[in-house]
Amino acid sequence: MLEDIIDILKKNNIKPEPLFVEEINRFEKSCGVIFPATYKSFLQEMGKGAGHFMLGSDVFHKDIVDLSEGAKELIEENNLPQLPENAYVFWMHQGYQVAWFICNGNPNPDVYFFTEGEGSKDYVIMGTFTDFLDIQLQMSGLK
């Protein structure tokens, strides 16, 4: 599925910028979790960016280092359950939407999502990590 996403980006003249394996390993170690295989592949393919794909969202390496703090604030403001210890926040949009998964050995984990407003009271499952990326493709008009 990730290969299909990369192909779509390239067909739309978007050149993904990879993150080197050494950088991923250091980052993973600093986070204190073992990243799922699909997330590592995502970082290897486009960890430094992908043109206008997911532009405006904090999802690429330079933007995700401090996402857990922003997510914590959003969670507290909305009286949501705290994230599990092995949760990893990989995406945030404009400070009012957050997505995370559990690092438990599943290579393509479910993504939990929350958006502030519209009566949202809890996280919803958006499908797997690759499903989440596919949804982002659709929302960006690339698919």
The whole-number pLDDT of residue 67 equals 87
> What whole-number percentage of the chain has pLDDT above 70?
99
48, 51, 55, 57: CA torsion to nearest 10: -20
How far from 53 is each of 97, 99, 102, 105, CA to CA, in Å? 17, 16, 24, 27
Domains along the chain? 2-139 (3.40.1580.10)
| Predicted confidence band of residue 68 (pLDDT cuts 50, 70, 90) | confident
User: Alpha-carbon distance 5 to 51, whole Å?
Assistant: 13
CA end-to-end span of the chain: 13
Q: How far is CA 82 from the centre of its chain?
A: 18
Q: Does 90 have pLDDT greater than 90?
A: yes
Q: For the purposes of burial, counting CB atoms within 10 Å of the CB of 136, is it exposed (0-12), middle (13-18) or buried (19 or more)?
A: buried
Q: Does 65 have pLDDT greater than 80?
A: no
User: Alpha-carbon distance 19 to 41, whole Å?
Assistant: 10
- Cα-Cα-Cα-Cα dihedral sign, residues 40, 23, 21, 27: negative
